[in-house]
Amino acid sequence: MNCRDIESLILAERDGVLTPTQHAALSAHVATCPACRQLRANLGEAAAFLKTDAANIAVPDADAEWRTLRTQLSSAAVKPTRKRPLAPVIWFSVPLAAAAALAIVFFVTRPAAPQSAPAQIAARVDPAGTTVSTIAYIDKDSGWLVVWSTDNDTTRSG
C-alpha cells in the first residue's frame, strides 16, 4: 500500500470503522513510514484537543433560557406602540418648499419681454408697368424674412 491509501485508513481509524485486516496493514505501514506516523500522531492530538475543548464548553440550562426568552417577549408586547415620526413629512416638505420658492423667484423676477420694434421695410418692389405691390422686411425678433405681394388690378372681375 502507498501513503495515499494509508491516509484514508488513518482517517477511518479515527472513526473506528477499520476491519482487522485493514488495521494490520495500517500498523505495518506506519511502523516503516515516518510521514504517515506523524500524520497519525497529529490527528490523534487534534482529536484529543477537540474532546477536551468540547468538555470545557458550558451548556446553558434550556428551561432557564426559555423562561428568560418568554419574559423578554411578554415585556416587549406590553410596551405601547409609538406614533409614527414626522420625519418623512419633513423630508418631503423641505425640498418642496425650496422648489416653490425657486419657482416664485423665477417668475416674479423674470425681466419683462422686450417690446418688439415695428417691422422695418427692407425693400419695396414696384416694377414699372405692373399693378403688383410687393413689400419685403426682416422681423428683428425672429430674424425671418417676410414678403407680401398683392395684385392691384381692379379691372378684373371675379
Which string of DSSP letters, residue by residue, matches the chain?
--HHHHHHHHHHHHHT---HHHHHHHHHHHHH-HHHHHHHHHHHHHHHHHHHHHHTPPPPPHHHHHHHHHHHHHHHHHSPPPPPPSHHHHHHHHHHHHHHHHHHHHHHSPPPPPPPPPPEEEEEE--TT--EEEEEEE-TTT--EEEEEEE---S---
| Per-residue pLDDT reduced to its tens digit, 10-69 | 888 888 888 999 889 989 999 999 999 999 999 888 888 888 888 888 888 889 999 999
pLDDT surpasses 70 at 5: yes
Does the predicted model carry a pTM greater than 0.85?
no
Of 151 and 101, more confident: 101
pLDDT tens-digit series, residues 119-142: 555 555 555 556 666 777 777 787
Q: Is the pLDDT of residue 117 over 60?
A: no
